[in-house]
Structure 1
């Protein structure tokens, strides 16, 4: 059987439904049309989601192939993988549903892209499957949504635009709901479930990282820089707090790769999220402390999972976000790069200065544009595999390690995720 170029697994979930329009539009661009299909457990639900997308797009998607696949059925996952060149996996939490699909992809020489923001899953896959993926010529690339391509490739973009040695990058995430009278949650329940389980299992993440460190071929020089905690940033004029997502760990792994494989000085990266007032700072800290404390015990974890709306102040809920409100949301990442314009210098002691600032912006970042980002990543993989690491022969990589030599940033720029320098030297 001729393989489809792309199969979307988890198409009936909230993110999957938001990804289908991007798949339809973006696979029709360019010199040739790419083929794609949808996969999940229920044919009835898959047919329904294609009907809904047909109404939204004003075109029939009844011809789109449907593949029945269940994470609890290894044979069905192998059959799905055998029918596709690339699997886009949007079925989370990935700690529960991701590894079986990765194994099926590797067994069948299929590439796997996901949108995971779960460090335990992401780094476990690197630890366990890097060698097998390379042996079977499968690319396994996690964090290919708004978590964490804008941050990871944003550092690459800043480095490309800076004519010198970039030493460190400080990123500030600014979000807007787009609606003053918001009725629904900001994020779906699966994201909350991932966060709660991740904090509950943090001790295991430290063990995974210890094992990964043992496999490092080179250890980068130690940095004496101290991370800021809570401060008022000069870019947006808002309060910045350490961002608890996966972006920092993903960027750190990319910088480790560039150091090992290209002998580049690792860039120190810190990520923050912005709030407007001291009261928002206090409520954010209270939410984090509550989540951190309760998630340590099984009873507390069950409590958090049962009452997401209560413990997240309405940010998360068992109900899905309202589509109209979701589409009005916006996110902007400002990146401040510090470095030295002396290209012959590779020492930390050159007292780097604030010399460059970029802005990365997206509408509907968590869902609609996450669908766009992961679809463009899949298309780039298919069309520019010769520019990927390991000479196109597969492996487990971060987004920046995989796509730094491709045109993915340009593709994002022409499809609603803009990268722009706003201040230079």
Structure 2
């Protein structure tokens, strides 16, 4: 008789994100048991992680797999139903694991915020994943569950038809210690991602051959800096992956479920002019340096210096992470009545606005790993509610009809409607 597969296997468990995924797997398995294990290339370090973070789970399976060894990756994937991949940057290390999972009939989830990687995986492997009955889902962390699922939540609660959504991201801390807030791995992914952002035009021409219809009224960007009553402070365009990931979900839901796609703009709010100036300077230097090989080398060699202390190889300390809070406010505008076809244009002015919010603590790592592990368990338990029997999907496309939002809400990642106004 064939050995029973583990439900979930955490690959890259000795990395910074992987450690917190292990802690979260242990917490969730006590609430609603499932079988899980850890994987990586160093058995001693894997055992140390179990001993340090989850000593009460001493019998957790340890699987040896190396990103440079395709056979070991296939053997790893065959042992489990879902690989939770914490081994980035995914531009360099993601594709091999995706291929191994598809070849083994194993689902693959990760926390990538690397737009080129995610869209390349969809272009290259969507059909193969569907044929294998496998879900490949990236961006299952802070990039970009709050935004992507927040938009899905708002669309479900709107009870009408949304024309546009603007999102405003806020962070604040309740500690006085100065420490890094981002781990080096995230910085490294950003360096390589920005260097290759010119790949996106050709990639999207292939991935989205049929553009979405031109809906009216148009949602235009608000400019480089603006103020908005729903998010106190100074707001600037958010350059993370949120808008790109959410667009993929809206595109999918329009094509498959005839849902009118929301036009999207994403912003981040800074509380002071000093913070705005500091972030602008860091961003300008970072963007310029990624265009040159020597500049990229300097950014990767001295992350703390070029980020003004925001990034380090050690990452943030646990106290700082637990005292960091986030909220994503979503402002949706549209109509209280829904038309028969998503391509129909309303003849009356927009007459409904809804404000929703997604909030939590420890966004970069604690909440990220909560989102990641609950996403994996949702695939494990609710695949019958997910579309197409497989494929390379964004979180919104994959989980729109599941209970993922409710499960996250129970784990202190709160989704709520703040106000709903009909004119």
Q: 2:213 aligns with which of 211, 215, 220?
A: 220
Q: 2:385 aligns with which of 365, 372, 387?
A: 387
**In 2, Cα distance between equivalents of 1:122 and 1:40:** 22
* Cα deviation, residue 28, structure 1: 3.0
Greater CA drift, 343-352 or 36-45: 343-352
RMSD between superposed Cα atoms in Å: 1.4
User: Which deviates more, 367-376 or 283-292?
Assistant: 283-292
Aligned equivalents of 2:73, 2:27: Cα separation in 1: 26
Q: Where do 1:150-169 residues align within 5 Å?
A: 150-169=146-165
Equivalent in the alignment of 1:401: 397
Contact 1:256/1:266, CA 8 A, preserved across alignment: yes
Asked if 2 retains the 8 angstrom alpha-carbon contact of 1:220 and 1:256, the reply is: no
Report if the CA contact (8 A) 2:335-2:352 is conserved.
no
Would you say the 8 A contact 1:53–1:61 is kept in 2?
Answer: no
Cα distance in 2 for residues equivalent to 1:401 and 1:227: 25
List aligned pairs for 1:327-342, cutoff 5 A: 327-342=322-337
CA distance in 2, matches of 1:213, 1:237: 36
Is the CA contact (8 Å cut-off) linking 1:220 and 1:259 kept in structure 2? no
Query: Could you tell me whether the CA contact under 8 Å between 1:359 and 1:422 is conserved in 2?
Result: yes
Question: Counterpart in 2 of 1:185?
Answer: 180
Is 1:38 paired with 2:31?
Answer: no
| Worse overlay, 393-402 or 222-231 | 222-231
Normalization by structure 1: what TM-score? 0.94
Distance 1:349 1:240 in 2: 32
Residue equivalent to 1:257: 252
Number of residue pairs matched by the alignment: 414
The residue aligned with 1:247 is 242
Q: How many angstroms does 1:77 deviate by? A: 0.2
Q: Which sections of structure 2, spanning at least 5 residues, go unmatched?
A: none
The separation in 2 between residues aligned to 1:115 and 1:400, in whole angstroms, is 14
Listed as ranges, the gaps of 5+ residues in structure 1 are none
Distance in 2, matches of 1:320 and 1:293, equals 24
Give the superposition deviation at 1:81: 0.2
Aligned-partner SS, 1:366: helix
Give the Å deviation of 1:348.
5.8
Alpha-carbon deviations, 1:105-144, whole Å to 9, x = none?
Answer: 0000000000000001100100100011011111000000
Tell me the CA shift for residue 379 of structure 1: 0.7
Structure-2 change in CA distance of 1:256 and 1:338 (3 Å): same
